[in-house]
Amino acid sequence: MKRSTVAIVRTRPSTVLDDVHRVMNLAGYQEELDREADTALKVNISWHFFYPGSSTTPWQLDGVVRALKRDGYDPSRVHACHNRTVVIDAHLGERENKHLDVVRAHGLRNVHLYEDEPWVDVREACGDLTKRFLCLNDVYPSGFQIPRRMIGENIIHLPTVKTHIFTTTTGAMKNAFGGLLNERRHWTHPVIHETLVDLLMVQKKIHRGIFAVMDGTFAGDGPGPRCMVPHVKNVYLASRDQVAIDAVAAKLMGFDPLRDLRYVKLAHDLGLGVGDVRDIDIVGDVDAARENWAFEGPFRRMTFAARNQHRIYWGPWRKPVEWSLKTWLAPAAYVASVAYHDLYWYPVHGRRRVEEALESDWGRLFANWGRAPEDPEGRGFTDVGQRSPALVRTGVRHFVQGLRLAGGALREAPEWKRASAG
């Protein structure tokens, strides 16, 4: 039986930079990533506002960059990588989540895949592999495009440990979703598990090396990736096997990967990775991997938006709404999502959860990112400082920002553009 390795380490702000370096090397990243190739750091922005557990943390991105530099990788060959959706503003997200601070501090290139980047047909990039797709040929009969720059690059995925309303949990495998599919990726939601497996096939074909560093300093439980309850869990995971790291993270959260996660089971059965935790070698702080956080998951306390998303993609509304999402009517759904999450849920429900998280050591480190003094040996941060209530985005500014995003969702939607052009 094929085996894979997943590294797990316990962490705290005073050692986090050293811990990221340690977990990456325990998982064998230097054997996976070719020094002669460019390396993309695939940042995860699940919400443009800071919400604990939702998006890549600045210490996660910073720790990975420092590890690469420390181990002799040329920083001129490393770049941050962002995708775009019609409901998430990546430029706002990289500022609010302090990713841009890290990129600028290290002088890295910062690539937004939808801005002046060429895309190529997947059949040109992957050839006969496309004949093995589980679903994407049916979803996109005329084919689809992927970013040209990713062909031949290494990629390091930077997900967080959290649940997801579409896939139960989300992690390394789903982190490729935004980077490899264009804005019509919502067409794949009814077959999201099969889509993630198809995209893993694509990754294995086009990338020189694939690695993941998963942040569990905060972990999110509930109808993610936005409307979650954040929990401080103080762990990092890393692996060369995207299926295995998602399986171990799921087990930590209290799920059975092969029973509860269809995308893991499909990938495991196809030999794309190891989803059976009995066949995964855990290294590092192995006692941490035995924990069971007993998360409720995304389906017990679904929000209004989550319940209706399920009706749209898997319920009685599926056929008529699925048709409408491929027409000029689609932007109505985008605007509704922004209005619900940004203008209602965040200020009414999310604000309290963010304020509570800012009282933790990780929350205070986030609030003082760029000012927190570092350990002289670069192991972490000696003083995380004080909480900053100014980070909680509510009030008039937040409302105006939400309206701007809703308007942008309407203007940028490809279906609306086609209808306007017609």
| Alpha helix ranges (H) inside 186-241 | 192-206
Q: Please state whether 271 falls in left (phi above 0), alpha (psi between -120 and 50) or beta.
A: left
422 assigned to some structural domain: no
pLDDT tens digit sequence for 345-390: 998 899 899 999 999 999 999 999 999 999 999 999 999 998 776 6
Better pLDDT: 319 or 151: 151
417 assigned to some structural domain: no
Residue position matching structure tokens 């939702």: 54
379 assigned to some structural domain: no
How many angstroms separate the CA atoms of 142 and 123, rounded?
Answer: 10
How many angstroms separate the CA atoms of 302 and 300, rounded?
Answer: 6
CATH number, domain with residue 139 = 3.40.50
pLDDT tens digit sequence for 42-90: 999 999 889 999 999 999 999 999 999 999 999 999 999 998 776 788 8
Per-residue pLDDT, 329: 56
Which residues constitute the domain of residue 19? Answer: 4-301
120 assigned to some structural domain: yes
How many angstroms separate the CA atoms of 26 and 265, rounded?
Answer: 25
Total structural domains within the chain = 1
Distances (CA, A) of 341 to 13, 77, 161, 345: 30, 37, 21, 5
How many angstroms separate the CA atoms of 127 and 291, rounded?
Answer: 43
pLDDT tens digit sequence for 6-55: 999 999 999 999 999 999 999 999 999 999 999 999 999 999 889 999 99
Per-residue pLDDT, 185: 77
Residue 86 DSSP SS3: coil
pLDDT tens digit sequence for 156-192: 999 999 999 999 999 999 999 988 987 677 788 889 9
pLDDT tens digit sequence for 398-407: 556 656 665 6
How many angstroms separate the CA atoms of 217 and 139, rounded?
Answer: 36
Q: How confident is the model at residue 420 (pLDDT cuts 50, 70, 90)?
A: very low
pLDDT tens digit sequence for 322-335: 655 666 556 677 77
Query: Considering only CA atoms, which of 28, 141, 45 is closest in space to residue 85?
Result: 45
Residue 236 DSSP SS3: strand
pLDDT tens digit sequence for 268-323: 999 999 999 999 999 999 999 999 999 999 999 998 888 878 777 777 766 666 65
74 assigned to some structural domain: yes
* DSSP designation for 282: E
